[in-house]
Amino acid sequence: MTDQPAITIDGHTIPLLGFGTWNLEPADARRMVAEALRVGYRHIDTAWIYKNEAAVGDGIRDAIAAGHVTREDVWLTTKIWVAHFDRAGLLKQAKESAEALGFTPDLLLLHWPKPDPSFEETLGALNEAQAQGLTKSIGLSNFPSAEFARAQSLSKAKLVTNQVEYHPYLKLTKLIAAAKDLGSSITAWSP
């Protein structure tokens, strides 16, 4: 599994198969992240709202200490919760997530669309977080196609993905077309 297919957007290579930590209690998250990395996963996904970022970071450190991976082998994604979409709140949460993880995340996503504060303020803050080195890449989660396109038009940096529910029983033809038109990608959170 270590020879995974990947996609390259904005100059960074993102493994296509990721291990998600939603609904994992901290002790389970630590153990399962370390095991996922041992068996070959190279993309780990978490979020502030999952309340397990510190344990996810510990699991990554455990896998590094065991010699299964280096930090450079792991693509780490986390998400900013909607209550922190104002400029100060977003930057604060991005810093807190990095501290909890013990690593700078590779990808920072806006967890859900929210019109207030304005998209302009939120996307500006997300771009600022990237410029401050709080993440390598930025993107979205759960955004419909029109809001995805609008967000990209407001972002100075490429939004590398929109993480959404996607599986054989849920066709997202418009959203996939929007991602392609924007030179972005879709990440499925529910295969």
Is 166 annotated in the active site?
no
Catalytic residue among 41, 50, 166, 169: 50
**Which residues share a beta bridge with 142?**
none
Q: How far apart are CA 161 and CA 147, in angstroms?
A: 13
By annotation, the residues acting in catalysis are 50
